[in-house]
Amino acid sequence: MPAPIDYLIIVTVTGEQLGELTQRLVEGKFYFTHIESSGGIIQKATANLLIGIAHERREALMDIFQKCCQRRRTYIPARMEPASYQSHPVMIEAEIGGADIYTFEIERFEQF
């Protein structure tokens, strides 16, 4: 019998990191619900994964996030309205990637 689910992990990652992350989650037998989203300064696709786990597996899950979800710096075009900037976009440095991880304790889990 599997260990009871007592944590809900919600993780937000970029679309670029999603493929490797979901592959490693499946290999590690972590089951998830994938919800697509977008937004932020870069306006790129992101994904939210909902993962129910037993507390004994939390560290193994965090190791996967740490390996797959590294932050990096890149340059993106700044959004400027004046016409003088449209022919030569101003580039700004931004940090992208990584993961936002929210952990909730579950009082009760039922599966029918």
pLDDT mean over 68-76: 78
Rounded distance between C-alpha atoms, residue 18 and residue 13, angstroms: 7
Q: How confident is the model at residue 103 (pLDDT cuts 50, 70, 90)?
A: very high
Helical residues (DSSP H) of the chain, grouped into ranges? 15-27, 58-68
Domains along the chain with CATH numbers: 7-105 (3.30.70.120)
Give Cα separations from 85 to 2, 74, 91, 99 (angstroms): 58, 20, 11, 32
- Give me the pLDDT at residue 43, please: 63
Range from 26-40, 64-78, 86-100 that averages highest in pLDDT:
26-40
List pLDDT tens digits, range 31-55: 999 998 876 655 677 899 999 999 9
Quick check: 22 and 105 in contact, CB under 8 A? no
pLDDT mean over 75-91: 65
pLDDT mean over 27-33: 95
pLDDT mean over 21-34: 96
Q: Which two tokens stand for residue 70?
A: 């590294």
Rounded distance between C-alpha atoms, residue 94 and residue 72, angstroms: 8
Mean pLDDT lowest among 11-20, 53-62, 93-102: 93-102
